[in-house]
Amino acid sequence: MDDAGQAAFAYDFTYGGKDVWVRELGLQFDLPLAFQTLEWDRRADFTDYPDDHIGRPRGTAQAHPAGPQSVPPGTRPMALDDHGWGSNDFRSAKRNIYTASLSGDWGRVQVVSDGTQTVRCALTPHEVTLKVLDFYGGSGGPQEWSVQGFHYGAGWLIKTGERVRGLVRLKLAEKSEYWAGEDDGGGDSGRGGAGGLGLLRGGRGDHGLVRAQRAEDQTRRPSGPGRSSPRRYSRGP
């Protein structure tokens, strides 16, 4: 990581198990529970979305939005329905991102991409998970009912001996730094310093980005038929 708080994480391995259908493939980062505001800018499938649609090109989502969670919901948008894992808006997949960030009292962690990766966040009892995925899609094996009946696709078949690789770029910033430098578009403005180093290395109370692990989650169902294509790197995007 450089002095501006920019870091790159690469994975590169040869798969040695049996052929397997995966629904998510990439890296997962575990952040402190303070990081509960998600912002994103992505390449959307359509030109126009309702302001409260979870698939809108740009937006901000809170892990637990303010307001009553009444049943029936009345006029509350579906995006603001809350859950222990986070609201629908917060934990829904944001596909084809240019940037996506999680922020809180400690600062901001921003993913910088090229419109091909997917970000998906969720709360757990001890941290906030940030998945940066080079592949996201599918709802099961080729013969499962969700694939046969709804055409969501079976995911990506990784074969024995196949090489799998990818790259995730992050930019870290202290809260004071990205607030002072933020532009109206919420773009690439924050510059991380020593605080960013602390977040990455777990320097604040042994928290921070202490684990980066392969995300090969075969239990989640996608939110719709659109999917990111797998991306493979020789050196980076």
Q: Which pLDDT tens digit goes with each residue over 56-72?
A: 999 999 999 988 898 88
- Is 0.85 surpassed by the pTM of this model? no
Q: What is the DSSP letter of 234?
A: S
Q: What is the DSSP letter of 207?
A: -
Among 51, 219, 57, 56, residue whose Cα is nearest residue 138: 219
Does the residue 233 lie in any domain?
no
Does the residue 223 lie in any domain?
no
**CB atoms near residue 2 (< 10 Å):** 8
Does the residue 236 lie in any domain?
no
The per-residue pLDDT for 178 is 58
For residues 106-111, give the mean pLDDT.
94
For residues 190-219, give the mean pLDDT.
36
Does the residue 220 lie in any domain?
no
Pairwise pLDDT comparison (56 vs 204), residue with the higher score: 56
Tokens read off for 115: 């419109």
Does the residue 228 lie in any domain?
no
**Under 8 Å between Cβ of 79 and 88:** yes
What mean pLDDT is reported for the chain?
78
For residues 119-130, give the mean pLDDT.
96
Please count the structural domains in the chain.
Answer: 1
Does the residue 116 lie in any domain?
yes
Segments forming the whole domain that contains residue 126: 6-214
Distance (Å, rounded) from C-alpha 130 to C-alpha 209? 10
Four-residue CA torsion sign, 5, 120, 56, 135? positive
206, pLDDT greater than 70 = no
53, pLDDT greater than 70 = yes
Does the residue 191 lie in any domain?
yes
Q: How confident is the model at residue 201 (pLDDT cuts 50, 70, 90)?
A: very low
Does the residue 115 lie in any domain?
yes
